[in-house]
Chain A
Amino acid sequence: MALCMTSAPSQVVPSLIRIATTCCCFSTSKTHYEIRNLARMRIVDNSAIGKAAAEIGKPPRVINVYNRKNVGYLGDKVLVTVKGEMRRAYIVGLRQKQKANVPRMDTNNIVLVDDNGNPLGNRIHVPIPSCLRGKGGDITKILSLATKFV
């Protein structure tokens, strides 16, 4: 009995620590899955920094959305923190409800780019919404890495 009693809190404690160290353990905008500041994303390219962040289990957080509404939509540019560094990225997949013929993904996906708009990785291993091909600008560089369109 005593062992059980001791083992139960030890399982709870790490999660408590995580709550205390990161700002919030649950999504604050879950109902709409909106990409606002501090929303957690998933890096889907094969950049080294993205892999390292996934390994330590700390997903990148959005700290700025480069549009007027400050809510990120498909193809928007965002500023994220990855392992304590600020990086720019493009949103290439959303959990949010989408319009007809636009895919809705199970995760919020981003692809990291450097300051010139060139992607950090050289391969994307998830499908990319086909509707992004209509957008010009730096996002075309990302689309050239994609293997599959939905």
Chain B
Amino acid sequence: MAAPMAQLCVNLLPKRLGLMSQHINCSCVFFSSSSPLRQPKPLKHVVNYQRTRAEVARALRRKQNFLHHEMVDKHRASPLQSGTAQISEESGEGAPREYRYVMPEFLPNPDFQYRDKVLEKMERRDMLRRRAVIDIPEFYVGSIMAVTVSDPYSPGKTNRFVGICIDRGGRGLKAYFVLRNVVDGLGVEVMYEMYNPTVHSIQVLRLEKRLDDQLYYLRNAPLEHSTFSFDTQPVNLPRDAPVPVNTTKVKLNPKPWEYRWERFNLKGIEPLPLTAKMERGIKEHAKPWEEYDLMLKYRQTVNEDEERSIMTEVFQENSRIEGERKSSRAVLRRKK
């Protein structure tokens, strides 16, 4: 039964192809009458001559909100338009994509309830002003950092603390990060506000990332994992090198813990010995649907267009500040 059917198809095919080729030929002929073959058509407004004279007159008459193509072309070619193209190119110069991760504090709260565009703009301006004064480097959760803060009561008037960054958050001027270290056998954590005027300097001693967004589990890990010497020398990465990811797995102390770490799906800890009760808890509190919840993702992230516009603004302002700094440095050198 199959063979005759196939034959039928084969018989039918050439006929169909022939029909199609005829059709194509016809169409080619039809078009070739108006324009020469195999030449790119000049982009020009072509008037449909098959219309009646009345229709053509109606189409060509002067209308509101209508610009004739030739008029537009004339304006584009005029010498008055010479500078405009460059301006549009400049405004199109956006920030690199990593800006979102390098300076996440510039992004507004994705929740519209807490949005205030004027306030955000003013805060951004203040932040950039602060950044012009002190150097806030690129850092991530897991980097080893040193922070110097002015301390009115200390003899040297400044207080330096070194530690691993275990958390980073906040938006705008309230952006913060938390450092953790072990001093004399006691775990110490200090939260610093990045734009706090008492901060003298922020230095990244070792730039690296960890597998998790927050490292609060170091509180329940052996102290050696959060012990860092205050004399650590900064390690410079080669330029344009990707940020290394530290994939060390931490072995947590036995319970009691600060939180139920088994429920957090942490990647930076060794697999935990789970009891039946813990497994039940994981199952009860798991939210597998969140992975597919598009609305949740939408609500938790800033609109891409908005992000681009904000980051472009930040990038341009930053590059302007850098340029000013360079020029001032050059002036200083000349004076010397």
Contacts and interface: CB of A to CB of B under 8 A. Distances in A.
A93 B188 CA distance: 10
Interface residues of B, number: 22
Q: Is the interface of B mostly helix, strand, loop or mixed?
A: strand
A41 to B, nearest CB: 14
A150 B183 CA distance: 9
A52 interface: no
Nearest to A93: B186
B198 interface: yes
Contacts of A117: none
Contact of B153 (A99, A104, A107, A133): A133
Contact of A130 (B154, B183, B184, B196): B154
A121 interface: no
Contacts of A99: 191
B192 interface: yes
Contact of B187 (A106, A130, A148, A149): A106
Nearest to B226: A106
12 contacts: A98-B191, A100-B176, A101-B198, A103-B161, A103-B188, A104-B191, A106-B187, A125-B184, A130-B154, A134-B153, A150-B159, A150-B161
Interface of A: 93, 98-107, 109, 125-127, 130-131, 133-134, 147-150
Given A100-B176, A149-B154, 15 more contacts: A101-B190, A103-B161, A103-B189, A104-B189, A104-B190, A106-B186, A106-B187, A106-B188, A106-B219, A130-B153, A130-B154, A131-B153, A133-B153, A133-B154, A134-B153
The 8 closest A-B pairs by CB, nearest first: A106-B187, A133-B153, A127-B183, A126-B186, A100-B193, A104-B189, A103-B190, A103-B188
